[in-house]
Amino acid sequence: MVKETLDRSAEQRILTAAKKIFLTKGMDGARMQDIADEAGINKAMLHYYFRSKDKLFETIFTEIATHFFPRIIEIFECEKTLFEKIELFCSEYIDKVKQAPYLPLFVLSEANKRPEMLMKKMFGNRKPPVHLFFRQVEEEIKKGIIKPIHPVQLFLNMLSMCVFPFMAKPMLEQAAGINKKQFDALMEERKKLIPAFIIASIKK
């Protein structure tokens, strides 16, 4: 029992340290030695719990996915208006990715290599109910509330405008001289700018 408690404590320290290192250095820049140092353990002990950096990252991704993606499902399934859902999606997505900015690149990489496995990690045995969002878009078009637009195009606009800044962050830092504090401020501003821009583009 004591060993199990110690194991869980050590594993949690490693995961906390890994999140910090991944956050500051990214997936590619993070080294197992950095994570071991941050966790206050030696590298051999780190490898005892997690064989590789990829395995460690996968564990963190699964933990994030269990909190992040169910919330996205809730937004699609809730009874709010289309405009409210657009606002909620953009705000929630940016908030979550700010906590794990390495997430989009990992998702993109895994989506190209193992899309079925990735979907299972993110949503379990069910598919995300995007069809509910698509149906709502079509209904709003029929009612004359919004301009005609393909529901997938609308969803892609929402997703891409939220995710691209995080993928382009290294380029922004170099080209525009933007530091972390400035970037975070820009992302906070985008939580309102993106839905306002999208809603204005489709509203009649």
Distance between CA atoms of 165 and 169, rounded to whole angstroms? 6
The values of phi and psi at residue 81, to 5°, are: -70, 165
Higher-confidence residue of 25 and 155: namely: 155
Instruction: Quote the tokens at residue 187.
Output: 């992302």
Helix (H) and strand (E) counts for the chain? 11, 0
The pLDDT value recorded for residue 7 is: 66
- Domains, in order of start, for the chain: 1-51 (1.10.10.60), 60-202 (1.10.357.10)
Cα dihedral 133, 134, 135, 136 sign: positive
Please, how many CA atoms are within 13 Å of residue 87, restricted to the half-sphere of its CB? 9
Higher-confidence residue of 125 and 79: namely: 79
Which residue in 22, 27, 203, 45 sits closest to 105, CA to CA? 27
Cα 106 to the center of its chain, rounded Å: 9
Higher-confidence residue of 1 and 177: namely: 177
Which has the minimum average pLDDT: 5-9, 39-43, 157-161, 199-203? 5-9
Q: Is the pLDDT of residue 164 over 80?
A: yes
pLDDT band at 6 (very low <50, low <70, confident <90, very high): very low
For 38-54, what is each residue's pLDDT tens digit?
A: 989 899 899 888 888 88
Cα dihedral 142, 143, 149, 153 sign: negative
Q: Is the pLDDT of residue 3 over 70?
A: no
Q: Is 24 in a helix, a strand, or coil?
A: helix
Contact between 146 and 139 under an 8 Å Cβ cutoff? The reply is no
Q: Is 62 in a helix, a strand, or coil?
A: helix
pLDDT band at 1 (very low <50, low <70, confident <90, very high): very low
For 48-79, what is each residue's pLDDT tens digit?
A: 888 888 888 878 777 777 777 778 888 999 99
